[in-house]
Amino acid sequence: MRSFDDIPGWLAQRKQEHLLRSRNQLQSAQSTRPVINGKEVLSFTSNDYLGLANHPSIAAAMRAAAEQYGVGAGASHLVSGHHLEHELLEQELAALVDREAALVFSTGYMANIGVISALMSRRDTVLEDKLNHASLIDGVRLSGARSLRYRHNDTDHLAQQLERAQGKKLIVTDGVFSMDGDCANLCEMADIARASSAWLMVDDAHGIGVIGQCGGGLVHKLGLSSEQVPLIVGTLGKAFGTSGAFVAGDKSTIDYLMQVSRPYIYTTATPPAIAAASRAALKLVAGANAARTNLTERIQQFREGIKTLGYELMPSYTPIQPVVIGANEKAVSMSEQLLKRGILVTAIRPPTVPKGTSRLRVTLSAEHTADNVEYLLGVMEDLK
């Protein structure tokens, strides 16, 4: 796009290439059976992995806190908006991921750009997985640090890139990759980071609540210490079913981020009622082992069924199960045909994923039943 006048033409081009994004309108509570655009559908699109977004206990906690504390926080955390509920939530989140302290942000995007831009400068180097989330990529851009990208999950290439790094060295990676669903090789990465005097930062947005005995996430499941993984970022709008995000680490690092992270300092705090809801969600997440077991069973059921049908799957054993279609037009067409049969599955296209890898991104929830998955597989068989 060369000028403002080119916007209509740019949009027309995107539409012609089957890349124009649009929105569905949610008209009910989030669930596996939401009302979308006036029609109830069976949804395989939500990040509500444990089915907590409409949980009555969480809703009750939010209502009670709103009655007691009001709606808005009224100011940023460092002025007068840091509430007792925020403080308690930070302590409980730190305990969940086995770290000394945590800092709550309004969104995961803000957490990632806030942490990276606070820690790194133009004299430093950030090592990035080529499939990292956009918020990690943008955090590096805002910091001004030199970016060295390594091939996806290729620890040998990471080690090679580290030899070119200057200044402070920070390795940033998704824990669970949002479009492929696979997990980072964190144990190897932690060893490489330590040998190179680099820090390792993990965005565990899609692992927190889902992976591990109490939902402590991928880092926690692998038993990686604060020395091995100094920074963990997690979100509350996925498995927790609420809103917001956090970064956890040792107390001195968290105190430093509170002093210098601009997205934290210059943003009005999230409502105390949201923090109270997240605290209620945290208790449910910690005790949700049965739900995580059911989720694992649905993942296995889907993978076995879709392989039998001959579709191309990716090496993911998380709730994110991408079915690679290839062409943009075909992926969009299949998504539309699924919707006609009452199933909501989103077609993911470039630039979110590489060209030629457009896909149907199936996400599974503990609330899905075996019959739900069988119905999806049956329709996918018809579309083959």
Residue written as token pair 């996925």: 238
Q: Strand 101-105 relative to strand 245-249: parallel, antiparallel, unpaired?
A: antiparallel
pLDDT bucket at 329, cuts 50 / 70 / 90: very high
Average pLDDT of the residues in 207-212: 96
- Whether residue 1 is predicted with pLDDT greater than 90 in this model: the reply is no
Residue-range domains of the chain with CATH: 20-50+289-383 (3.90.1150.10), 56-286 (3.40.640.10)
What is the rounded CA–CA span in Å between residue 355 and residue 328?
A: 9
Query: CB 113: neighbour CB atoms within 10 A?
Result: 25
Residues in Cβ contact with 130 at an 8 Å cutoff, skipping those fewer than 6 apart:
149, 150, 151, 152
pLDDT bucket at 22, cuts 50 / 70 / 90: confident
**Residue-level pLDDT at 213:** 84
Query: CB 269: neighbour CB atoms within 10 A?
Result: 26
Average pLDDT of the residues in 298-311: 96
* DSSP H helices in 28-146: 56-69, 84-96, 108-119, 134-143
Average pLDDT of the residues in 20-39: 92
Average pLDDT of the residues in 5-30: 91
Q: What's the Cα-to-Cα distance from 90 to each of 148, 247, 251, 278, 372, rounded to whole Å?
A: 32, 9, 12, 10, 36
Give the CA angle between residues 132, 202, 260 to the nearest 5°: 100
Give the CA angle between residues 241, 34, 15 to the nearest 5°: 100
pLDDT bucket at 259, cuts 50 / 70 / 90: very high
384 vs 345, residue with greater confidence: 345
H-helix or E-strand spanning residue 343: strand 343-344
Mark whether 22 is an active-site residue.
no
**Residue-level pLDDT at 277:** 98
Q: Would you say 232 and 95 are in contact if contact means Cβ atoms under 8 Å apart? A: no
> Pick the catalytic residue: 135, 178, 226, 335?
178
Q: Dump pLDDT digits (tens) for 48-88.
A: 999 999 999 999 999 999 999 999 999 999 999 999 999 99
Percent of the chain topping pLDDT 70:
100
Mark whether 206 is an active-site residue.
yes
Mark whether 225 is an active-site residue.
no
Give the CA angle between residues 107, 15, 132 to the nearest 5°: 35
Q: Dump pLDDT digits (tens) for 97-146.
A: 999 999 999 999 999 999 999 999 999 999 999 999 999 999 999 999 99
**Residue-level pLDDT at 42:** 97
- Whether residue 8 is predicted with pLDDT greater than 80 in this model: the reply is yes
Token couple for 219:
């880092």
Residue written as token pair 């039998």: 308
**Residue-level pLDDT at 201:** 98
What is the rounded CA–CA span in Å between residue 238 and residue 254?
A: 23
Residue ranges of the binding site for pyridoxal 5'-phosphate: 108-109, 178, 206, 235
**Residue-level pLDDT at 367:** 97
SS3 61: helix
Phi/psi of residue 320, each to 5°?
Answer: -85, 115
**Residue-level pLDDT at 24:** 87
Average pLDDT of the residues in 293-302: 97
> Pick the catalytic residue: 77, 82, 83, 206?
206
